[in-house]
Amino acid sequence: MGYGSYSSKDWDDLKTARNIGSNSTVRDLYKSKEMKEYLNPKGVAYRESCDSIDSPASCAIIIGLDVTGSMGYLSEEIAKGALNRTMLEIYDKAPVKNPHIMFQAIGDSKSDEAPLQTTQFEADIRIVEQLLDVYFEGRGGGNGGESYLLSWYFAARHTKIDCYEKRKEKGFLFTIGDECCHKLLTPVEIKKVFGEDGWSCSAGALFREASQKYEIFHIVIKAGSYRQQKSGEAWKKLIGSRAIELEQGDLDILPELFISLMQYARGMKEEEIVSQWKGKAAEVIANILRDMGSMNKEHLCF
């Protein structure tokens, strides 16, 4: 997938058609009452990001959103403005040439009915249309974590991306949430979510496997269960400086953060990255990149 191209006019038309405004709530935006079959990862062989006439140098980008009960504000932010600005900034700043975006809705494979939902890779307004089809289950298990590792499992074993297959250029995978990552994906969970047999997989092993073809980052929101679970510390222990801690009040600079991390992974210097932004965005990005100073080129190439 990944045909066509994105335009701000299409976004404006969709906002009008869906009556999306600044006061729209998560229930206004995400109206599905159950997981739509085309978003169900069970039985999916591959989601594909393919080069085309429209996208001769495609780059696969996965954004995995925690859709458990405490994270409704995140999905609101993405749907009401962050996604549109991310696309426009990608075209403006060009960290990659032809973005193909997949959204994943992440819950808890130990308790939820729909712990993972996956859109296609898309390059046009279908990105938003499919995002809004997500079933916002809003649960989570209250068991000390969520199943962010499902994102890595699917990316590693159920995506085919031309940026890597043809050019050995890694795609990008961002997950976002406030909780710790469950340490283990069990055979029962693999069967439940993906419909296939498999061995137990640790979070670390799946991170390393998916890192073969994706630059992976996790954005830890400093809200909800963050302090109780000490999730920032746990994520740093799991994936090092690829875990970025972000205040809830700074979610409005997510587009700048996505772009900056892509540029950083592709070798752009910190001062050049920060100089693109103004005000709060420049300050927050500068602090994040300074904290990531230990993530040198060696760490970027698992």
- Average the pLDDT over 179-185 and give the result: 96
The answer for residues whose C-beta is within 8 angstroms of residue 192's C-beta and 6 or more apart is 109, 115
pLDDT at 296 over 50: no
* Predicted local distance difference test score (pLDDT) of residue 136: 86
CB atoms within 10 A of CB 51: 18
Task: Quote the percentage of the chain above a pLDDT of 70.
Answer: 95
Say what the pTM is.
Answer: 0.94
* Predicted local distance difference test score (pLDDT) of residue 1: 58
What does the domain layout of the chain look like in residue ranges? Answer: 8-291
CB-based contact 65:179 (threshold 8 Å): no
pLDDT at 42 over 90: yes
- pLDDT tens digits along 252-273: 999 999 999 999 999 999 999 9
Mean pLDDT taken over the chain: 91
Per DSSP, 79 falls in state I
**pLDDT band at residue 141 under the 50/70/90 scheme:** low
* Predicted local distance difference test score (pLDDT) of residue 302: 35
301 vs 93, residue with greater confidence:
93
- Average the pLDDT over 167-193 and give the result: 96
* Alpha carbon of residue 121 to chain centroid: 12
CB-based contact 179:107 (threshold 8 Å): no
- pLDDT tens digits along 235-249: 999 999 999 999 999
**For the stretch 141-176, what's the b/e string if a residue is b when 16 or more beta carbons lie within 10 angstroms of its beta carbon?**
beeebbbbbbbbbbbbbebebbbbeeeebbbbbbbb
Listed ranges 27-31, 265-269, 298-302; the one with the highest mean pLDDT: 265-269
**pLDDT band at residue 140 under the 50/70/90 scheme:** low
pLDDT at 299 over 50: no
CA triple 212-218-221, angle to 5 deg: 175
Listed ranges 13-22, 26-35, 147-156; the one with the highest mean pLDDT: 147-156
CB-based contact 130:30 (threshold 8 Å): no
- pLDDT tens digits along 144-178: 899 999 999 999 999 999 999 999 999 999 999 99
* Distance from C-alpha of 275 to C-alpha of 271, rounded to nearest angstrom: 6
Residue 285 half-sphere exposure toward CB, CA atoms < 13 A? 27
Q: Which CATH number applies to 8-291: 2.40.10.10, 3.90.1150.10, 3.40.50.410, 3.40.50.1220? A: 3.40.50.410
139 vs 107, residue with greater confidence:
107
Question: What is the total residue count of the chain?
Answer: 302
* Predicted local distance difference test score (pLDDT) of residue 239: 96
- Average the pLDDT over 33-54 and give the result: 95
